[in-house]
Amino acid sequence: MARAMLPIILFLLSTVAAQAEDAKALIDAATSKIGKGDFKGAVDDLSRAIELDPANAPAYKTRGLAHHQMDEFQTAIEDYTRALAIDPTMVMAYNFRANALRSIGKFPEAHADCDKAIEIDPKFEWAYIHRGTVRYLLGDLGGAKADLTAALGLGASYADYTCLWLWAIDAKMMRTEMATKTITDWPAGAPPFARGVNIAFLALNALFLACRAMSKPAA
């Protein structure tokens, strides 16, 4: 009996393996489409991949990203959540979900996802960047600055973006001297356009402070 069942078992195993390979090919194709801005095409490919392999966490995560890029944040969150139900250690799914949650104003939930991503991978710079921006939006300027500074210490790939947030924090705290220092200490690899944008923001902030001082009644 067991010998008779062997061909069937082998056939089923080969079918599952083939479906997994087909799903991977669809995920790769969808990732390429996302890079080209074809988000709807990517969603179609990824939905087919999920039909072939319903337990494929990367397929859900990547489909969530495609929805995310179309500003379909709630749908994206649902896909990221499905991916995490399959693989609770998927750092990028926590990172993407935190970003989507932040986009719809769910800042405490976004903070919690960033915490989890950092717990899994303490060197994942984007988790610090996203948590820093969430803390800024929650009014925790000290915590925001600590996270963004930590991201730079990890060699933030988007140093210009991170420094602009650091500048915004110092400007909001009315620490003009520190905001100026952010420009002075701008990472060598940051693009020149970003430095120009930062200087423009600093100039506008200086003008705002001057106008505020002039509008105060004389003592």
Where b means 16+ CB within 10 Å and e means fewer, 168-201 reads: bbbbeeeeeeebbebeeebeeebeeebeeebeeb
- Chunked into runs of 10 residues, the chain (219 residues) has average pLDDT values of 49 43 88 95 95 95 97 97 98 97 96 98 94 94 94 80 83 62 50 51 51 44
Give the model's pLDDT for residue 15: 45
* Cβ–Cβ under 8 Å, residues 26 and 49: yes
Where b means 16+ CB within 10 Å and e means fewer, 91-104 reads: bbbbbbbbbbbbee
Give the model's pLDDT for residue 18: 46
| pTM metric for this prediction | 0.72
* Cβ–Cβ under 8 Å, residues 129 and 162: yes
Integer angstrom CA distances of residue 76 from 32, 59, 62, 99, 196? 18, 12, 9, 10, 34
* Cβ–Cβ under 8 Å, residues 127 and 146: no
The enclosing H or E element of 202 equals helix 192-215
